[in-house]
Amino acid sequence: SEATVLHDRRDGYSVISLNRPDRLNSFNRQQHAELRAALEECATSTEIRAVVLTGQGRGFCAGQDLSDVDDMGGDRPDLGKTLHDNYNPLIRSMRAMPKPIICAVNGVAAGAGANIALAGDIVIAARSARFIQAFAKIALIPDAGGTYWLTHLLGEARAKALALTAQPLSAEDAANWGLIWKAVDDDKLMAEAISLAEGFAAGPTHAYGLTKQAIQAASTNTLDEQLELERRLQREAGMSDDYKEGVKAFLEKRPANYRKA
Ligand code: T3D
């Protein structure tokens, strides 16, 4: 059957697009499997040094495909199993990806779709995009990391209001609240995302991975734990060829030529 995920391998980075536009790119089993395969390739390929994740058509992703009852396991499904088998490994793989993931949120991001977007390292959204914690409308709780992102990025007051009301949050408000990095004009979204990816593709990939790891640990570490983690990761960075090259390039007043990692 037709590909539900498009993987466009470019010079130094990949663009991954969810591709079920007539269902607003909501997830069925096939889309989970294809996204997993694409992300695995990105994680292991030394040619791919950054990832752009976006959606085909007018939406980014509307979460679980609610029309696919078979996929979901009947009318009283074990959603714990769906999360264990699909969403939780997806979120973990995005956080563990040793290179930057840029989510280019091109349109509505609802339910797990909103929270997959928020799992990106840099989230930029088209001004027309909306983030909707739609779960309460169907008697569920925010998943795919939603209760974590909302609480850590916004605090309990806004987290609870968004989750309990399921009201849409505009891209502009999401940026002003610190939920995402920025909102851009719709017609500038892909150019912005690609320009970031191109920059990362020429950058110190290994150091980016370590930076990501350190920042992700910070929200649950004490300062002492974080200082110790920084010491350990900086020690590793300082022994790399990239650091040697970075300093050399600086002193020679030329662009650094970083290696694939
Ligand atoms: O396994 C598990 O279930 C556990 C995991 C759960 C994680 C979850 O994600 S639960 C939350 C699931 N998602 C939602 O509840 C969102 C449902 N969608 C909506 O509320 C709306 O579609 C939107 C607010 C996102 C967008 O509204 P609008 O008016 O722009 O578009 P629309 O007309 O509602 O949608 C366009 C089409 O996509 C439409 O189909 P049609 O009428 O043209 O044939 C609509 O049914 C379909 N669609 C949208 N979202 C889903 C969907 N079909 C199946 N599943 C969806 N989630």
The CATH number that applies at residue 230 is 1.10.12.10
Same domain for 58 and 113?
yes
As for ligand 1, residues whose beta carbon falls within 6 Å of it are 23-24, 26, 62-67, 72, 79, 82, 108, 110-112, 132, 134-135, 138, 140, 143
* Residue 98 within a domain: yes
Q: Are 144 and 116 in contact (CB under 8 A)?
A: yes
Residue with CA at minimum distance from ligand 1 atom 18: 62
Spacing, Cα 29 to ligand 1 middle (Å)? 16
- Residue 180 neighbours by CB distance under 10 Å: 25
Between β-strands 14-18 and 51-55, what pairing exists: parallel, antiparallel or unpaired?
A: parallel
Mean pLDDT of 128-156: 98
Residue with CA at minimum distance from ligand 1 atom 11: 111
* Residue 74 within a domain: yes
Spacing, Cα 113 to ligand 1 middle (Å)? 10
* Residue 26 within a domain: yes
What type of residue is 193?
A
Angle between helices 29-44 and 88-96 (to 10 degrees): 20
Cα 144 from Cα 115, distance rounded (Å)? 6
Can you name the residues that pair with 125 across neighbouring β-strands?
A: 105, 183
Same domain for 107 and 230?
no
Element spanning 9, H or E: strand 5-9
Same domain for 98 and 70?
yes
Q: Give per-residue pLDDT as tens, 43-99.
A: 999 999 999 999 999 999 999 999 987 666 777 889 999 999 999 999 999 999 999
Same domain for 135 and 39?
yes
Backbone φ and ψ for 159, nearest 5 degrees, come out as: -60, -50
- The answer to whether residue 1 scores a pLDDT higher than 90 is no
Residue with CA at minimum distance from ligand 1 atom 22: 62
How many domains in the chain? 2
Same domain for 96 and 223?
no
* Residue 259 within a domain: no
Q: What is the dihedral of CA 161, 167, 171, 175, to 10 degrees?
A: 0
Query: Which residue range(s) make up the domain with 53?
Result: 5-201
Mean pLDDT of 117-123: 98
| For the chain, the helix, strand and coil percentages under 3-state DSSP, each to the nearest 5 | 50, 15, 30
- Which ligand 1 atom is the nearest neighbour of the CA of 63? 9
Same domain for 129 and 243?
no
* Residue 261 within a domain: no
Same domain for 172 and 214?
no
Which residue out of 23, 58, 140 has the highest number of ligand 1 atoms within 8 Å of its CB and is therefore the one to mutate? 23
Same domain for 128 and 192?
yes
Spacing, Cα 62 to ligand 1 middle (Å)? 5
Domain final residue, candidates 163, 179, 201: 201
- The answer to whether residue 220 scores a pLDDT higher than 90 is yes
Q: Which of 244, 154, 155, 259 is nearest to 205 (CA)?
A: 259
* Residue 258 within a domain: no
Instruction: Specify the pLDDT at position 261.
Output: 66
Which residue out of 20, 23, 24, 81 has the highest number of ligand 1 atoms within 8 Å of its CB and is therefore the one to mutate? 24
Cα 87 from Cα 20, distance rounded (Å)? 17
Same domain for 215 and 164?
no
Domain final residue, candidates 201, 216, 232: 201
Q: Are 105 and 129 in contact (CB under 8 A)?
A: yes
**What's the predicted TM-score (pTM) here?**
0.97
* Residue 64 within a domain: yes
* Residue 238 within a domain: yes
Cα angle, residue 227 at apex, residues 154 and 210 outer, rounded to 5°: 75
Q: Are 207 and 259 in contact (CB under 8 A)?
A: no
Dig out the tokens for 210 from the structure.
């370590």
Q: Give per-residue pLDDT as tens, 158-193.
A: 999 999 999 999 999 999 999 999 999 999 999 999
Same domain for 31 and 114?
yes
Instruction: Specify the pLDDT at position 107.
Output: 98
- Which ligand 1 atom is the nearest neighbour of the CA of 58? 30
Same domain for 75 and 183?
yes
Specify burial of residue 139 (Cβ count, 10 A radius: 0-12, 13-18, 19+): exposed
Same domain for 180 and 243?
no
CATH code, domain with 44: 3.90.226.10
Cα 168 from Cα 179, distance rounded (Å)? 13
